[in-house]
Structure 1
Amino acid sequence: MTDARGSDSRVGETNARRAPGTPCWVSLMVHGPAATHDFYGALFGWEFRPGPQQLGPYARALLDGREVAGIGQLPPDRQLPTAWTPYFASDDVNRTAESVRLCGGTIGVGPLDAGEAGRLAIGSDPSGAVFGIWQAAAHLGTAVAGVPGTPVWNELLTYETRGVAKFYETVFGFEPAPDAAPGRDHVTLLLDGRPVAALHGVGDALPRDRGPHWMTYFEVADADASVELLAGLGGHVLTPARDTDHGRVATVADPEGARFSLSQRPR
């Protein structure tokens, strides 16, 4: 994980339109949305209200009345894995989707309109990791940052970064900044010199049941307390809370198996 917060110390509402390539939203598709709402509501203090229904039943998660994430329902006849998906901002989702295809990725959903909120597509990179593309209209994306219960970082876990780094550089205009540490396959993605996401090549350590995938980090006030709460709510602790250069971090999963990380700022 790379700490993006050092380059952007703003805490509070983030109502500005994002520059193309900026992570702007995270969304989760599940089989049982009611139980999932209860889980994340108890864990992060989220409340929910209906959102655009173009992809089926969908709700936006609110923190103190401000939108932070989305949760939708998977088709009941499809047993797909549940996973948090980051969305990257685009000024033209059709053009970005075409770039995805030309660079060896695929587009599985869209581009399509999400009511008055905006326009979206869901695709995957050449390694198979799924991500979203968001062209904002009325809905600009996550409306608050820098407080517990909000997404703070997104990192791609993949076999190796060399091939996919070029893909994301070409499609979204990122500036790749490889880690100089020997034996570490890690690339920070920059926009205008500011870190916004990262790629981490983990080779054979990648979970076989998941393959390459994006990991969303959510900020918490106390990682250990949040892990204990999560376990009591039926979640799963995959990697216990540990100290890192960027704070205390735990890797966890919700009751349906969607993986994410809890991130506590350094004290």
Structure 2
Amino acid sequence: MTEARGSADLNADTHTRRTQGTPCWVSLMVHGMATTQEFYGELFGWEFQPGPHQLGPYVRALLDGQEVAGIGQLPPDRHLPIAWTPYLASDDVDQTAETVRMCGGTVGVGPLDADEAGRLAIGSDPSGAVFGIWQAAAHLGTSITGVPGTPAWNELLTFETESVAKFYGAVFGYEERPAAGPADFDYVTLHLDGHPVAGIHGVGTALPRDRGPHWMTYFEVADTDEALRHITDLGGHPLTPPHDSPHGRVATVTDPEGAMFSVIQSPR
């Protein structure tokens, strides 16, 4: 995570339709809905309301009455990786899905309608990393950011950035900006309208073999060290110890079902 948007940028226009390619929602599909809701409710203070059920039982997580994320139920016979998935805004999900296919990606789900909320598809880039596509109708996506318990950043961990960044640029129109750093530091920030919206980090052979390329969601917390203790008490597991970065204090963890995410405490 080399470049994150400030809270003012993140909060701008949260109640209007987002520019195509903007991360607008994060969703988690799990086997144990009740235990997962209990974990994130205790950790982030989320409350839950029923959501669209096109893909099975689904709830929307709310913070202070505003939507921040979604959690859905996997069918018992589906043994898919448990992972947070970012959804990228689209003006026309059917056209975006076709562009994904034309550029070497795949579309595994949809496009399909989610009640009156909007239209979605779930695809993967040429390296296999899964992401969602969301065409908003009644539901515009995450409506509060910049406070503890909300998504702060989305970052793709993959083998190398060059080819994957070209894919996302072709599909969503991102401007790519390489990050400053050592010659072997392979990081690209994706920009829309001059603002950074997501990152791609090429880590080569350091990518875990059991996970493959994947998107990582960062959630804002008030205190990273305290959050890590709380996560452990709730049945989650730390993957990296808390460490300071130019954008705050960060740690990477898993929830009780193994979904990986990061927590970040913004600099004070």
TM-score (norm 2): 0.97
CA distance in 1, matches of 2:27, 2:238: 21
The aligned runs of 1:152-163 (5 Å cut-off) are: 152-163=152-163
Partner of 2:224: 223
1:20 and 1:224, CA in 2 relative to 1: closer, same or farther beyond 3 A?
Answer: same
Matched, 1:185 2:177: no
Residue by residue over 1:202-257, the C-alpha shift from the partner in whole angstroms, topping out at 9 and shown as x without a partner, is: 01110111000000000000000000000000001000110011110000000000
1:192 and 1:157, CA in 2 relative to 1: closer, same or farther beyond 3 A?
Answer: same
Does the 8 A contact of 1:13 with 1:143 survive in 2? no
Partner of 2:201: 200
CA distance in 2, matches of 1:97, 1:131: 11
Does the 8 A contact of 1:7 with 1:195 survive in 2? no
Does the 8 A contact of 2:252 with 2:260 survive in 1? yes
Q: How far 1:180 moved relative to its partner?
A: 3.6
Q: How far 1:80 moved relative to its partner?
A: 1.3
Amino acid at match of 1:101: R
1:266 and 1:256, CA in 2 relative to 1: closer, same or farther beyond 3 A?
Answer: same
Partner of 2:211: 210
The aligned runs of 1:250-265 (5 Å cut-off) are: 250-265=251-266
Does the 8 A contact of 2:3 with 2:189 survive in 1? no
CA distance in 1, matches of 2:8, 2:196: 9
Q: How far 1:35 moved relative to its partner?
A: 0.4
Amino acid at match of 1:46: W
1:186 and 1:10, CA in 2 relative to 1: closer, same or farther beyond 3 A?
Answer: closer
CA distance in 2, matches of 1:34, 1:114: 22
Does the 8 A contact of 1:123 with 1:131 survive in 2? yes
CA distance in 1, matches of 2:230, 2:73: 24
Partner of 1:151: 151
Number of positions where the alignment pairs a residue of Structure 1 with one of Structure 2: 267
CA distance in 2, matches of 1:4, 1:92: 27
Q: How far 1:5 moved relative to its partner?
A: 2.5
CA distance in 2, matches of 1:233, 1:12: 33
Q: How far 1:179 moved relative to its partner?
A: 1.8
Amino acid at match of 1:93: V
Residue by residue over 1:78-128, the C-alpha shift from the partner in whole angstroms, topping out at 9 and shown as x without a partner, is: 111100000000000000000000000000000000000000000000000
1:176 and 1:222, CA in 2 relative to 1: closer, same or farther beyond 3 A?
Answer: same
Q: Which runs of 5+ in 1 are unaligned?
A: none
Q: How far 1:10 moved relative to its partner?
A: 5.7
Matched, 1:14 2:18: no
**Runs of 4 or more off by more than 6 Å in structure 1?**
none
The aligned runs of 1:90-101 (5 Å cut-off) are: 90-101=90-101
Q: State which drifts further: 112-121 or 76-85.
A: 76-85
Does the 8 A contact of 2:7 with 2:145 survive in 1? no
DSSP 3-state at the match of 1:143:
coil
Partner of 1:71: 71
Residue by residue over 1:122-153, the C-alpha shift from the partner in whole angstroms, topping out at 9 and shown as x without a partner, is: 00000000000000000000010110000010
Amino acid at match of 2:215: W
TM-score (norm 1): 0.98
DSSP 3-state at the match of 2:258:
coil
CA distance in 2, matches of 1:78, 1:133: 21
CA distance in 2, matches of 1:192, 1:143: 20
1:19 and 1:219, CA in 2 relative to 1: closer, same or farther beyond 3 A?
Answer: same
Percent of paired sites with the same residue: 73
Amino acid at match of 1:219: E
CA distance in 1, matches of 2:226, 2:42: 13
Does the 8 A contact of 1:241 with 1:248 survive in 2? yes
DSSP 3-state at the match of 2:242:
strand
